[in-house]
Amino acid sequence: MRIFLIEDDSDVSSYVSNGLREAGHTVDTCGDGKMALVQAATEDYDVLLVDRMLPGLDGLAIVKTLRGSGNTTPVLFLTALGDVDRRVEGFEAGGDDYLIKPFAFSELLARAEALHRRRGAQETVTTQLQVADLSLDLLGREVRRAGRKIELQPREFQLLEYLLRNAGQVVTRTMLLEKVWDYHFDPQTNVIDVHISRLRQKVDKGHDQPLIHTVRGAGYVLRDPGLRDSGVSEPG
Amino acid sequence: MSLEIQALETQASLSRVRVFRSSTFRRTFLGFVLVWAICGGALFMLERSATRAVLLPLAKEAEGRIEDLLEEIAHQDPLDSEAEISEAEIFLGMMELKIPSQLEDEEYLEAYIEGLFQALVGESSAEGEEEGEEERHQAILIRLAILGERDLRGLEGLPIADYAELMFEEIPRKYHDALDDRIGEFEDRWEDVGLARNLTGPDMARVLGQARGDLSELLEEEDFCFELRGPTGEILLTNLGESTPSTIFDTEYVHFRTTTPEAFEDDWEISARHCLVKELRLGDGSLLRCGPSFDHAGQVLLMIPRIRNAALGSGLLVSLILSFLLARITVRFLVDLSRASASLQGGDVKTRIRRPGDRGDFDRAVSEINAMLEQLDGSVSTLTQVTDNIAHDLRTPLTRLQGQLDLLKRHPESAETMIEAVQDEVNQLLATFNALLRIAQVESAQRRRSFRTIDLVQIVDDMVELYAPVFAEQGLSFDFRLPEGPVRFFGDSNLWMQALSNLLDNALKYTPGGGRVNLSLMSSEAGTLFELRDTGPGIPETEMEKVFQRFYRLQKHRRERGTGLGLTLVAAICKLHGAPIELANDGGLVVHIRFPKFG
């Protein structure tokens, strides 16, 4: 994935870009708003990571301008400004996701990869999601594994759908809480873990290959362990 | 302790000079002066119109009387009394010999008199007369004498008295009748003529002066005033005392106002305050002014200028005093405010303004300002406390982190296991930091901007749905009771999710396996009550107050995971929304949050 990181703090910039490179992505960085806008408009990137508070032109303006000129590259805002109004502002300007500093790197990585994936997925309309022998029928609201039907509660269905849509990529607990439950708070207890655990009971139990894996320090990933994909993971 | 007692600022006294120099004083004073000027002007106008309003009706009323009086004077029959020849008679008799239609011409008059005189002189006799006759003759002679005084004196050079005597002896009896007839004629004609045209000023003066007694009877008025001026304007007779005509009236009336209204020596002169006189122009150009005086009305009317003058004079002084007093209140307030501001800017958050204590506008304003200062003071000390807490409670994990990294340096072989511990520590720190930020945000009330109308039932329901599996997994039974319909409330749904999440997390953490957790939301007239019960150990009474403090951990739970900020945030969220939270022990911990009625 080609990533453009627009961040004026040099330490954060180097820390994030190094991390991303080690995860196998190409990273360009820029600390000035105006120059970054030019670069983002002329170069072709898969994901833009944009800090809101920049010298020159602020992140919001950069994204508005890009969107105005027809650029549809997914944008993830990074910022210390975390209240609801700011988040809404970011989305209205054309951003796709919003991450509040300080953040865990794994969170950043997971979300960036999810954005990239989403972009690809938007081009085609699917009615069915499939990984290995697990299939999910979006129209009929049916889940089958190895031919056998799995009964899922509505929330469990949504959870599985999200994991499938992001198959092969790490999804963090925060992402799940935000995207599946549409909640924006931080639970102390890992409630998500329990829900995942119940889902696993239904989806993985009794099958040779577990599909839902835990990624320590990051989150979860739904993946066919037989395949090699981006991101290091351990079967959990 | 009341705010006033806590105030450390001692207010210095407010100098008078400061008040006099203030713009408030200037403006107030000018305002008063303006008002006084307007009132003064109004009073001037008032006096004029009041005087007219009071006197004119009286004058109109008296007009009739004046006319009657003049009629009386005009129609006095001089021949009624035969017993005496009074001055009145003489005066009136004099009249009958002047006929305006014929005698306006002076030359003619001279000739007439001379002819008459010749006639009388030429045929005088000194035959014996009766007593009454004698007097009549005398009367006639004197009349003639008076009449022709101007002319005769010039001719003969004799004083009138001597001449009269001479005449008296010379008029023959036989002419008496003719004269009488003549007189009678003149009497008739005289009735039509009236008084004014035939009089001369000096004559009138003399007569009036001499006929005081009778005239006053005649006049039948006690308070009549008059003034008689000669043809050249000299005063011949007046009972007005010291007075000046005023220009209030532009009618036929002349208004006199006495300037020294004390009693006069001569009781002929009246102590009139106000006189309204009608003017009569006499035959020779003399001016008679005659009319009623108004003592009682005058009293009132005289008061007006006095009041006006006193008011205008004292008004200035009163304005000064009032302005000063009013300005002082305002200026004091402003000065105190400035001082407090300066003090505050200098860093003294304990400064307060002294209250007037009179429950007036300034008192209320000062009270509000002091409350604001109190809040500021509170914020500052919270800030101090918070930074102290943060300093302490962030140092600890950071120190641990440093230790771990140091260990790692020394034992690179145990990197695998150590790294994870380090990452956990860092994540924990991040969580703490985020929680602190959120608490700070909520406490600063900034989050109020994102308040909307929310449904509490929906929020609780969502949380229940999210947490139910967790409770199940931990072997805790979880019962909940929610109302049928929505419960509306004005607030931030994300914050309430956070609060409920924190409370449920605690319940999970501290309720031992096999226990029970109950959640209920109940609406009533007073509002809505949220209740969360567990069968855990609860909170010791001694620590109840402190659990909401940042980083506070119960003694026995010091080692537990968590930031120690969960309840702090819950408390801040409850306070922001005006929904008080209460904790109690009842078979475990009971949490109550009371939501006030929406709307």
ipTM of the complex: 0.81
Question: At CB < 8 Å, which residues of chain A contact B?
Answer: 82-85, 100, 102-104, 155, 181, 183-189, 191, 194-195, 197-198, 216-217
Question: Which residues of B fall within a CB distance of 8 Å from A184?
Answer: 494, 497
Say if residues A54 and A33 touch (Cβ distance below 8 Å).
yes
State residue B63's pLDDT score.
Answer: 65
| Residue appearing with tokens 């999910």 | A136
User: Number of helices (H) and strands (E), helices first, in chain B?
Assistant: 18, 13
Residue of A nearest to B442 (CA): A83
- For the cut 70, the answer to whether the pLDDT of residue B166 exceeds it is no
Contact A25, A1 (CB under 8 A): yes
Indicate the SS3 state at residue B289.
Answer: strand
For range B267-289, the mean pLDDT: 59
Per 3-state DSSP, chain A is made up of helix, strand and coil in percentages (nearest 5) of 40, 20, 40
Please write the tens of the pLDDT for every residue from B122-138.
333 333 344 454 454 44
CB contact under 8 A, B473 and A197: yes
Mean pLDDT estimate for chain B: 70
Per DSSP, the three-state class of A231 is coil
Residues of B in contact with A172 (CB under 8 A): none
Residue in B433, B462, B502 closest to A102 by CB:
B433
| Closest CA–CA distance from residue A79 to any residue of chain B (Å) | 13
Cβ <8 Å between A184 and B446:
no
CB contact under 8 A, A186 and B434: yes
d(CA B390, CA B89): 126
Contacts B505 to A, Cβ<8 Å = 187-189
**Predicted pLDDT of residue B447:** 74
In this predicted structure, what is the pLDDT of residue B264? 38
- Closest-CA distance, A23 to chain B, in angstroms, reads 18
Q: CA A28, CA A4: separation in Å to the nearest integer? A: 5
CB contact under 8 A, B470 and A194: yes
Lowest mean pLDDT among A194-208, B186-200, B321-335: B186-200
Position B114 pLDDT exceeds 60: no
pLDDT of residue B480: 92
pLDDT of residue B256: 62
Give which of B116, B316, B122, B295 is closest to B221, Cα–Cα.
B295
More confident site: B200 or B20: B20
The kind and range of the H/E element at B541 are: none
Produce one character per residue of B52-83: b if its CB has 16 or more CB atoms within 10 Å, e if not: bebbbebbeebbeebeebbeebbebebeeeee
Q: What angle do CA B253, B257, B260 make, to 5 degrees?
A: 160
Q: Which residue in chain A has the smallest CA separation from B466?
A: A191
Q: B5-50 pLDDT, tens per residue? A: 333 334 456 677 777 878 888 888 888 888 888 887 887 777 777 7
**Percent above pLDDT 90 for chain B:** 16
CA gap B56, B252 in Å, rounded? 11
From first to last of its 236 residues, chain A has per-residue pLDDT tens of: 899 999 988 888 999 999 999 989 999 999 998 999 999 999 999 999 999 888 888 889 999 999 999 998 999 999 877 666 778 888 899 999 988 887 888 889 999 988 887 766 665 677 888 888 899 998 889 999 988 899 999 999 999 999 998 888 889 998 999 889 888 887 877 899 999 999 999 998 888 888 999 988 788 999 888 765 544 333 43
> Can you give the pLDDT at residue B282?
60
Beta bridge partners of B453: B490
Cβ–Cβ under 8 Å, residues B255 and B274: yes
Distance CA B290, CA B69 (A): 10
**B551 or A201, higher pLDDT:** A201
For residues B441 and B432, what is the distance between their CA atoms, to the nearest angstrom?
14
Model pLDDT, residue A50: 93
Q: Do A216 and B420 touch (CB under 8 A)?
A: yes
Q: Which residues of B touch A191 (CB under 8 A)?
A: 466-467, 469-470, 501
Q: CB distance A102–B423 less than 8 Å?
A: no
> What is the model's pLDDT at position B205?
55
Give pLDDT, residue B84: 32
What's the average model confidence in pLDDT over B94-102?
37
A188 CB neighbours in chain B (<8 A) are 501-502, 505, 509, 562-563, 566
The predicted pLDDT at position A194 comes to 92
pLDDT of residue B573: 93
Cα gap B470→A110, rounded to integer Å:
25
Stated pTM of the model: 0.56
Closest-CA residue in chain B for A88? B450
Per-residue pLDDT tens digits for B411-428: 888 888 888 888 888 877
d(CA B398, CA B290) in angstroms, rounded, equals 117
Mean pLDDT for B441-451 is 78
Name A14's bridge partners.
none
- CB-defined contacts A:B, below 8 A: 68
User: A156 near A199, Cβ under 8 Å?
Assistant: yes
A98 contacts on B by Cβ (under 8 Å) = none
Cβ <8 Å between B434 and A188: no
Give B473 or B383, the one with higher predicted confidence: B473
Q: In B, which residues are within 8 Å of A198 by CB distance?
A: 469
Distance CA B90, CA B188 (A): 17
Test B462 with A155 for CB contact under 8 angstroms.
no
Taking phi over 0 as left and psi of -120 to 50 as alpha, with beta for the rest, B204 belongs to alpha
Whether residue B433 and residue A195 make contact (CB cut-off 8 A), yes or no, is no
Query: Would the CA dihedral through B473, B479, B485, B486 be positive or negative?
Result: negative
* Short-list A106, A126, A235, A120, CA closest to A175: A106
Q: What is the mean pLDDT of residues B137-143?
A: 51
What mean pLDDT is predicted for residues B354-381?
A: 81
Beta strands in B313-403 (DSSP E): none
Answer yes or no: is pLDDT of B506 > 80: yes
Element (H, E) at A62: helix A59-68
- What tens digit of pLDDT does each residue of B458-478 get? 999 999 999 999 999 899 999
- Collect all residues of chain B within an 8 Å Cβ-Cβ radius of residue A102: 430, 433-434
For residue B335, what are the contacts with CB-CB under 8 A and spacing of at least 6? B14, B18
Instruction: Please tell me which residue, A50 or B275, carries the higher pLDDT value.
Output: A50
The shortest CB-CB distance from A191 to any of B467, B502, B509 is to B467
Give the containing element (helix H, strand E) for A33: helix A33-42
Region of B264 (left: φ > 0; alpha: ψ -120 to 50; beta: rest) is beta
Q: Who among B423, B449, B466 is closest to A191 (CB)?
A: B466
Cβ neighbours of A181 in B, within 8 Å: 462, 466
Tokens of B592: 């109550």
Q: In the 8-state DSSP scheme, what is residue B122?
A: H
Using CB atoms within 10 A of its CB, is residue B271 exposed (0-12), middle (13-18) or buried (19+)?
middle
Residue B521 CA to residue B592 CA, distance in Å, equals 10
Of A83, A155, A187, Cβ closest to residue B505: A187
What residues of A are in contact with residue B495 (Cβ under 8 Å)? 185
d(CA B327, CA A109) in angstroms, rounded, equals 69
Are B466 and A84 within 8 A, CB to CB? no
Read off the tokens for B177: 């009748």
**Among the listed ranges A196-210, B243-257, B386-400, which one has the minimum average pLDDT value?**
B243-257
